[in-house]
Structure 1
Amino acid sequence: MQTLQSLQYEELHSHYNRYLSPFLPYNLKDRYTDRIILPEAIGNGSISRTRLRPGMEVIMADFQITDDHIMHLHGNLPMVDLTFWIQGNIEISHSGIQEQISAGLGHLTFGQEEQIELKYTAHEAFAICEVRLATALFDAFMDELGLARYTYSAILDGRLNCMFSQSILPKVQTILQDMRSHPFAGPLRKMFLEGKTLELLALCFQHTLLEDEAPSQRRTGRLRKDDIERVREAGRILQQRMEQPPSLLELSRLAGISDSKLKFGFRELYGTTVFGYLKEKRLDKAKELLETERINVCDAALMVGYSNPSHFAAIFKERFGSNPREWIIESRRL
């Protein structure tokens, strides 16, 4: 006889299939993973869903579509959803509100979907990682951690939905990169992804739920709203001028914020220093150039602000686990 908990787990795992119906049938379906290769008439790329354990699954999507596409989500299945928007900009409509979601954001959501529209733009590359937890499993995790006060229902506190938003931290970026490029298949793939998913959950729960006494409080509450926007503007300036970045004092002047608040704000929003953030963005851009523009290592280094190719190669390997030339060879095999 099935328990209420096991029925809830089965419902979670069957829930996602309805939204994949335009792309079915599955091209790969094994004991753990369902994988869809998009038909040429729709676009290119793939969507995979791996059942990691009862009540926990991870969806990895890397794709482009030929025409603009709207995905309608509607349902009343309660769940905990952790989504990372790695690449591509998506317009979301919910409860009469339109919101533009940019790459580099993560959302931890408690509640049910209700009526949501996701608008994908034709020919834009999208990369998304989504972790879904059944509410019973989330409560079991909190109980194991001695944090039973942070139950699913306590976090919602009578609301239909509750969402925590944050920029993707460098540590999280590294985990996501590992999840998107690894050598494992079958049961080892499931084991690897489960370990990485638990790392994501631990970092996310620590940063959103557990840093303050009450689950409704946010770390960014220590900064005023206008200060947060100025810190984000500083981040945009660094990305636009990574080849010749401004000094810390010039950056603070351009963003309209004191240098002490700027340093504090980067720690709060991005979990790193100002120039730690610049380093991460430079390396991400360099990797993108090597993969998509097919330029040589020296040119990629110069384009993101590194005049010493040897230094660039060393920090690239430290970040991604292989040097730039090895990365080029591997990316062109895919």
Structure 2
Amino acid sequence: MIKNAGPKYQIFNPQDETCPICVGLNHIYRTNSFQNEMKVPEAVGEGYCRRIVVKPSMRISISDMTFHERMTMGERQGSSLYSLAFCLGEGFLWRVEGNPKREYGIACGESCIFNRDQGISISSYDPGSRFLGICVEFDFDIITSFMQHREKDQAHNRLFTGSNFLYNGKISPAIRLILNEMMNCRYREQLKRIYLEGKILELIAVYLDETVFEDEAMSSAGEVSAYDREALYKARRILDENLVAPPTIGKLAKLIYLNEYKLKTGFKELFGMPVHAYIIDKRLELARLLIEDKKLKVTEAALLVGYNDLSYFAEKFRRKYGVNPSKYSKNI
């Protein structure tokens, strides 16, 4: 970790001062080496926690742990870094001590971004539940740089001032792909460090684009009324949940109580592409995730995302990713 960070950070079990999990986590969190991993003792559970220090202002923690008995752990934090956390396993709650006490939660498939300088936080983990996730710590200057590049200073001031817990939302297929690439990075040493630094920047950029900048786009689309904007975001949620068999334009328009013209023009203005193109784009992202993460065959992935014509699927995949899906699958 960065200089002087060790004494400020401590993981502890309020019920067991000699907790082996806390001892192991404190060891890997207080070292300066590039990568360290703690294995969960068999007597306690199974799994691991991996800590990667890409550079002092950029770190990654990957956890995949299951405990035999209920586990309570606290964190004493004093870091100036921000954290972007993604829950891929069971959700959990945590409490931040203070006056008043604050409680937060994250469910499976959700993400959150928060300031690590929160003092003491306490969380509990149920026995038999798999806690799988990845947390990226980074300097706030990275967000400031993205904001300034996009000329979003007002969004910066509104969303990132005076708040420890900043945002909680769903993990999109695009984000999930980046996380999968980070968690399964096949490079080593310096090449791995360079690769992960690039992936962290990509992750933050996509995350901000899907959350902060999306909110700004929603409020700055002057020609789209507030009612229509809300309806169009509902339309996108419906499409995201029904990519394999999406409703027709006519049916979608009825579901959101807009006419077809407003749906078509408003959707393109807010999201930068027509409805049909959006469906194709998201299907391809999901197909790539199934091929890469779930190790499905190209044919299986294509069918699962709604493509019966494999040559048409291959053409669209190649146009988006610059490589045939079969070749992509072999290179994983």
Is TM (by shorter chain) over 0.5?
Answer: yes
TM-superposed deviation, 1:192: 1.2
Code of the residue aligned with 2:201 in structure 1: it is L
- Corresponding residue to 1:199 among 197, 202, 220: 202
Structure 1 position 132 matched with structure 2 position 131: no
Contact 1:57/1:131, CA 8 A, preserved across alignment: yes
What is the alpha-carbon distance in structure 2 between the residues aligned to residue 266 and residue 91 of structure 1? 37
What is the alpha-carbon distance in structure 1 between the residues aligned to residue 294 and residue 167 of structure 2? 35
What is the alpha-carbon distance in structure 1 between the residues aligned to residue 235 and residue 324 of structure 2? 30
**1:242-297 CA-partner distances (Å, limit 9, x unpaired):** 332212331232244565468756875x7765445534553455456557877654
Instruction: Note the residue ranges of structure 2 that are not aligned, 5 or more in a row.
Output: 13-18, 96-100
What is the alpha-carbon distance in structure 1 between the residues aligned to residue 113 and residue 4 of structure 2? 20
Aligned residue for 2:16?
none
Aligned residue for 1:101?
107
3-state DSSP class of the match of 1:10?
Answer: coil
Structure 1 position 35 matched with structure 2 position 40: no
Q: How does 1:2-81 map to 2 (within 5 A)?
A: 9-12=2-5, 18=11, 22=21, 25=24, 31-39=33-41, 45-61=47-63, 63=64, 65=66, 72-81=73-82
What is the alpha-carbon distance in structure 2 between the residues aligned to residue 67 and residue 266 of structure 1? 50
What is the alpha-carbon distance in structure 2 between the residues aligned to residue 186 and residue 76 of structure 1? 28
TM-superposed deviation, 1:329: 8.7
3-state DSSP class of the match of 1:59?
Answer: strand
Q: Tell me how large the CA RMSD over aligned residues is.
A: 5.1
What is the alpha-carbon distance in structure 1 between the residues aligned to residue 88 and residue 177 of structure 2? 14
What is the alpha-carbon distance in structure 2 between the residues aligned to residue 304 and residue 39 of structure 1? 40
TM-superposed deviation, 1:238: 3.1
Instruction: Tell me whether 82-91 or 120-129 shows the greater mean CA deviation.
Output: 120-129
Aligned residue for 1:181?
184
TM-superposed deviation, 1:108: 3.3
Contact 1:111/1:160, CA 8 A, preserved across alignment: no
What is the alpha-carbon distance in structure 2 between the residues aligned to residue 54 and residue 245 of structure 1? 45
Q: 1:22 to 1:233 in 2, by over 3 A?
A: farther
What is the alpha-carbon distance in structure 2 between the residues aligned to residue 207 and residue 15 of structure 1? 33
Code of the residue aligned with 1:188 in structure 2: it is L
TM-score (norm 1): 0.64
Code of the residue aligned with 1:196 in structure 2: it is K
Aligned-pair identity (%): 19
Contact 2:65/2:132, CA 8 A, preserved across alignment: no
What is the alpha-carbon distance in structure 2 between the residues aligned to residue 101 and residue 242 of structure 1? 22
Aligned residue for 1:309?
310
Code of the residue aligned with 2:306 in structure 1: it is G
Q: 1:49 to 1:239 in 2, by over 3 A?
A: same
TM-superposed deviation, 1:91: 3.4
Aligned residue for 1:3?
none
Structure 1 position 238 matched with structure 2 position 239: yes
TM-superposed deviation, 1:298: 2.9
What is the alpha-carbon distance in structure 2 between the residues aligned to residue 271 and residue 43 of structure 1? 47
Code of the residue aligned with 2:136 in structure 1: it is V
Instruction: Tell me whether 86-95 or 16-25 shows the greater mean CA deviation.
Output: 16-25
Aligned residue for 1:254?
255
